[in-house]
Structure 1
Amino acid sequence: MTEIEKLEETVAHLLRTVEELSAVVARQDGEIQRLSRRVGLLMEREAEREADGSNTIPLADQRPPHW
């Protein structure tokens, strides 16, 4: 195998790796966007709940019954 063939093989492997990584990044970008929308909706929902003026303590902040 000549030096040129070795370099071509290396470049081919690198190109495949770059394409695979690009696909991973694109998938992660879509997931981040989806999760960001969900967090935004949850924050809006919580803001509406707080704005309703209900003076109840959120369940997560209440003491367990055995205390």
Structure 2
Amino acid sequence: MGTQLRISRDDGSLPCEVCGFPTMHVAQVVADDGTVLGRTLVCTTCQRGKHRPEPPPAPIESDAPPDEVPAG
């Protein structure tokens, strides 16, 4: 069973928390038979949404030499 995201052209948009553009939309999650399964937020610029997690944070760089563990 596949699903689709449908964004209405008539609904407004909000500023995206990630990219800052006003392209965050409420999209309907729709099954193959047309049944609306739910709704989610989707940015059409950076394509982030609640269904797509953010990338993991970059490792914290330290001034300690590579063979030493920084004091915590």
TM class by shorter chain equals: under 0.3
| Larger helix proportion of the pair | 1
Structure richer in strand, relative to its length: 2
Pick the structure with greater CA Rg.
1
TM-score in terms of structure 1 length: 0.25
